[in-house]
Amino acid sequence: MELPFAESWKIKMIEPIHKSTREQREQWLKEAHYNVFQLRAEQVYIDLLTDSGTGAMSDRQWSQLMLGDESYAGASSFYKFEATVQRIFGFKHVIPTHQGRAAENVLFSYLVKPGMVVPGNAHFDTTKGHIESRKAQAIDVTIDEAHDTQLEIPFKGNVSLEKLEKVLKENKGNVPFMVLTVTNNTVGGQPVSMENIKATCKLCHQYGVPVVMDSARFAENAYFIKTREKGYADKTIKEIVREMYEDVDAATMSCKKDAIVNMGGFIATNRDDWYEGAKLYCIPFEGYITYGGLNGRDLNAIAQGLDENTEFDMLQTRIHQVQYLASLLDEYGIPYQRPAGGHAIFVDGDKVLDRIPKEEFPAQTLTCELYLEAGIRACEIGYMLADRDPVTRENRFGGLDLVRLCIPRRVYTDNHMKVVAAALKNVFDRRETITRGVAIEWEAPLMRHFTVKLRRL
Ligand SMILES: *Cc1c(COP(=O)(O)O)cnc(C)c1O
């Protein structure tokens, strides 16, 4: 008999989680104005809000905390961190920052000026924010196939070279860099192929435009290259990562994702001019260049996390769990963005609750129903998040209306995934009885989804 798949680690420390009754959840959700961001974490049983900073550190990472050097400048922890980033990514210069958006803030302060254009394969929202707040324009150049949720292709996060070339041609001399995001978070944690990374870098460099890799889930991307792309099956994850960054000019990184720490980030580059330029912004925003807003112990934990999460077994355990949840949804016939991404499943909210008109926010209603059903917290990535058009102030109903089930690294077991799938199935089975959604009672002028107050119709 073939042995079944199992996790590549065992559990040494546990944290109790809390079940509740439906009655309690109805009360709590009402108090939270039908917005799961407003719940207290202890009111949640299984928390799939995000995979950012929510992972479980290993015994080795915890032991590194004790070895942290908290010297203000030149701490040994910085040199350990720097050497690890240099070895894994192949960059010369490394600047720590307190998280990914801080890396963007520091680097873009130096590079982005009003009127510039920055193409990218679906910029992450903070990345886009840091471009637009500098009065520059972010243009999406992801392949069209990414927007067809039912199409199964291996590298759905890829850059469209035609779209990219058009932007580069029309904006000559006005593109400070291109952002290549791996995996492509915005379209569902979908990977970018090695072939596409190389072709994108080649095209950008032909136009004299550097490439910045937004690297939050670089290791998951490398796993997909190894398992899906021809010629990479026998390479190690670390070899693939080095190859991914061979032609790239710089990286910004959120260590809260693939470095499996609760807080941290960095900028890395081979360009001396960018390093010198970014350093000037690091000091006032983040702190001195050998700590960048982080404790010495944090730098140690990042170094350890980067090393262990670029091992195949760790990534296989991770992606296997995401795919296991997807297989349960397949069994129950629940529609989601296909194929399953690296860190999350995006359920098609408006296909599940198809009786609810879009003006009543089907995906937002589904996050409420999932919480009421079993205390599971998911995240709406749909019409609520899409916000209003800045000019007309109309709701933007043009995109997809999804519910993201985002899986923290090394935190939940496959049994928890069974609970999530069963709860979703229960809601799905009674979908015909759910005919009304939610109405907005109060909303902020910007980024409304975090604080919006809703009423159940
Ligand atoms: C999370 C994320 C960021 C921002 O990182 P933070 O650590 O949350 O500030 C940037 N880009 C991508 C692709 C991300 O997933």
Residue 400: its pLDDT value, please?
87
- For residue 277, pLDDT over 90 is answered with yes
In angstroms, what is the span from residue 220 Cα to ligand 1's centroid? 14
Contact between 436 and 360 under an 8 Å Cβ cutoff? The reply is yes
At 252, is the secondary structure helix, strand, or coil?
A: strand
The average pLDDT across 142-151 equals 92
Residue 93: its pLDDT value, please?
98
Residue 447: its pLDDT value, please?
84
Q: Is 254 in the pocket of ligand 1 (CB under 6 A)?
A: yes
- For residue 306, pLDDT over 90 is answered with yes
361-385: pLDDT as tens digits: 999 999 999 999 999 999 999 999 9
Q: Is 126 in the pocket of ligand 1 (CB under 6 A)?
A: yes
Q: Is 252 in the pocket of ligand 1 (CB under 6 A)?
A: no
Mutate to test the pocket of ligand 1, among 104, 126, 142 (most ligand atoms within 8 A of CB): 126
- For residue 187, pLDDT over 90 is answered with no
Q: Is 99 in the pocket of ligand 1 (CB under 6 A)?
A: yes
Residue nearest to atom 15 of ligand 1 (CA): 216
Q: What pLDDT band is residue 390 in, cutting at 50, 70 and 90?
A: confident
Which atom of ligand 1 is found nearest the CA of 185? 13
The Cα–Cα gap between 45 and 48 comes to 10
Mutate to test the pocket of ligand 1, among 183, 186, 257, 302 (most ligand atoms within 8 A of CB): 257
Radius of gyration (C-alpha) of the chain in whole angstroms: 22
Percent of the chain scoring above 90 in pLDDT: 94
Dihedral through CA 265, CA 92, CA 213, CA 50, nearest 10? -20
149-168: pLDDT as tens digits: 889 999 999 999 999 999 99
Which atom of ligand 1 is found nearest the CA of 102? 9
The average pLDDT across 163-177 equals 98
Residue 446: its pLDDT value, please?
79
pLDDT higher at 252 or 386: 252
Mutate to test the pocket of ligand 1, among 212, 214, 379 (most ligand atoms within 8 A of CB): 214
51-85: pLDDT as tens digits: 999 999 999 999 999 999 999 999 999 999 999 99
In angstroms, what is the span from residue 99 Cα to ligand 1's centroid? 8
- For residue 188, pLDDT over 90 is answered with no
The two structure tokens encoding residue 238: 């670390």
Residue nearest to atom 1 of ligand 1 (CA): 254
The average pLDDT across 87-116 equals 98
Catalytic residues: 72, 124-125, 214, 216, 257, 449
In angstroms, what is the span from residue 97 Cα to ligand 1's centroid? 12
The average pLDDT across 93-105 equals 98
The Cα–Cα gap between 438 and 360 comes to 5
What percent helix, strand, coil does the chain show, rounded to 5? 45, 15, 45
CA distances 393 to 4, 112, 131, 390, Å, are 53, 28, 22, 6
Residue nearest to atom 3 of ligand 1 (CA): 100
Q: Is 106 in the pocket of ligand 1 (CB under 6 A)?
A: no
Peptide linkage before 365 cis (omega within 30 of 0): no
Mutate to test the pocket of ligand 1, among 49, 50, 98, 124 (most ligand atoms within 8 A of CB): 124
Q: Is 216 in the pocket of ligand 1 (CB under 6 A)?
A: yes
Contact between 188 and 400 under an 8 Å Cβ cutoff? The reply is no
Residue with tokens 């559990």: 11
Contact between 221 and 154 under an 8 Å Cβ cutoff? The reply is no
The two structure tokens encoding residue 307: 């090393």
Q: Is 294 in the pocket of ligand 1 (CB under 6 A)?
A: no
The Cα–Cα gap between 241 and 117 comes to 28
- For residue 417, pLDDT over 90 is answered with yes
- For residue 386, pLDDT over 90 is answered with no
The two structure tokens encoding residue 197: 């990374």
Q: Is 265 in the pocket of ligand 1 (CB under 6 A)?
A: yes
- For residue 391, pLDDT over 90 is answered with no
Residue 82: its pLDDT value, please?
98
The average pLDDT across 15-41 equals 97
In angstroms, what is the span from residue 383 Cα to ligand 1's centroid? 21
The Cα–Cα gap between 282 and 185 comes to 26
Percent of the chain scoring above 70 in pLDDT: 100
The average pLDDT across 421-443 equals 97
Average predicted confidence (pLDDT) for the chain: 96
Q: Is 341 in the pocket of ligand 1 (CB under 6 A)?
A: no
- For residue 225, pLDDT over 90 is answered with yes
The Cα–Cα gap between 178 and 113 comes to 14
Question: Which segment of 38-42, 75-79, 123-127 scores lowest on mean pLDDT?
Answer: 123-127
- Greatest alpha-carbon pair distance for the chain in Å reads 63
Q: Is 50 in the pocket of ligand 1 (CB under 6 A)?
A: no
In angstroms, what is the span from residue 101 Cα to ligand 1's centroid? 6
pTM of the predicted protein model: 0.96
- For residue 121, pLDDT over 90 is answered with yes
For 339-365, give one letter per residue: b (16+ CB within 10 A) or e: bbbbbbbbbbbbbbbeebeeebbbbbb
The Cα–Cα gap between 235 and 253 comes to 23
Question: What are 122-126's contacts with CB under 8 Å, separation 24+?
Answer: 122/146, 122/157, 122/181, 122/184, 122/185, 122/186, 122/187, 123/179, 123/181, 123/186, 123/214, 124/100, 124/181, 124/185, 124/186, 124/214, 124/216, 125/186, 126/100, 126/101
Q: Is 182 in the pocket of ligand 1 (CB under 6 A)?
A: no
Q: What pLDDT band is residue 130 in, cutting at 50, 70 and 90?
A: very high
Residue nearest to atom 11 of ligand 1 (CA): 124
